[in-house]
A = this chain, B = another copy of it.
Amino acid sequence: MAARRGNVGDPTARSALLDAAQELMVEEGYAAVTARRVATKAHVNSALVFYYFETMDGLFIALFQRGAENSFERLQAALTSKQPLWGFWEMIHDRSRSALTMEFIALANHRKSIRKEIAEYSRRFRRAQLETLSSVLAGYGLDPERWPAASIILVLSGISRFMLIEEAFDVDVGHAETITIVEEQIASLEGGRRRIGGGPTKSVGSPRRK
Q: Which residues on A are within 8 Å of B, measured CB to CB? A: 27-32, 99, 102-103, 105-111, 115, 118-119, 122-123, 126, 130, 147-151, 153-155, 157-163, 165-166, 168-171, 173-175, 177-178, 181
Contacts and interface: CB of A to CB of B under 8 A. Distances in A.
A109 B119 contact: no
Contact of A27 (B106, B110, B158, B163): B110
A106 B25 CA distance: 10
A157 B165 CA distance: 12
A103 B99 contact: no
A61 to B, nearest CB: 15
A178 to B, nearest CB: 4
13 contacts: A30-B106, A31-B31, A31-B110, A32-B110, A99-B109, A118-B169, A119-B170, A119-B171, A149-B174, A153-B174, A157-B162, A158-B158, A158-B163
B159 A174 contact: no
Given A30-B31, A102-B105, A151-B178, 17 more contacts: A29-B107, A102-B109, A103-B106, A103-B109, A105-B168, A108-B168, A119-B169, A123-B173, A130-B173, A149-B174, A150-B174, A151-B177, A153-B174, A154-B159, A155-B178, A159-B159, A162-B162
B155 A175 contact: no
